Structure 1
Amino acid sequence: MDDNALLDCYEAIERASEEMLEAARAGDWDRVVRLEGACAVLISRLKQAAADRQLDEEQAKAKSRVMTRILRNDAQIRNLAEPWLDDLDRLLAGSPRTLH
């Protein structure tokens, strides 16, 4: 994978994170989970491809901009998920726990 393909991979992760944010805003948590799985595959591929790569200065700046947007999307998704997770915690705390 060449350096441009690496940046393309970062951008694909960014697009997936944007789709996750859209799904979270719509309350479509099943879609968020599916997209999270797709992101995990992309991240795994990226880790393997980027292991021995050094981006030039301009590419590193582009990567940094993409990563910043991914982190912002992630933070917004977490903010949207927290109330839902709190509700789930309360629901689980109120139900008897059984082991099968």
Structure 2
Amino acid sequence: MLAGVLATSGVLHFARPKPFDSIVPRSLPGSPRTWTYFSGAAELAVAAAIANPGTRRLGGLAAAGLFAGVFPANVKMAVDWRDTSPARRAIAYGRLPLQIPLVLWGLRVAKR
């Protein structure tokens, strides 16, 4: 299931990159689109690693690291959306604590 979540998100980074571009922290060098594609490719690679029993442990650890690594983008989204509609704020703020169970999910996959 985690591989499916990551694969779907990875594909979305390529199919609909604009929303992802907008949450790339400005402090990162280069183009936001480059980071969008890089993170999408990372999600696809981690999904493949989780789907393969021989690399599942490494994939789970990589997923936990990936979920922790994208946290600054979620913070940027929450800051950028602080003056938007209540629904958009709920989405943006809801993504912040969601990272914790996602990191734990990756670690659980790594332990199995």
State the TM-score, normalizing by the size of structure 2. Answer: 0.37
| Greater relative CO, 1 or 2 (CA 8 Å, sep 6+) | 1
State the TM-score, normalizing by the size of structure 1. Answer: 0.40
Rg larger in structure: 1
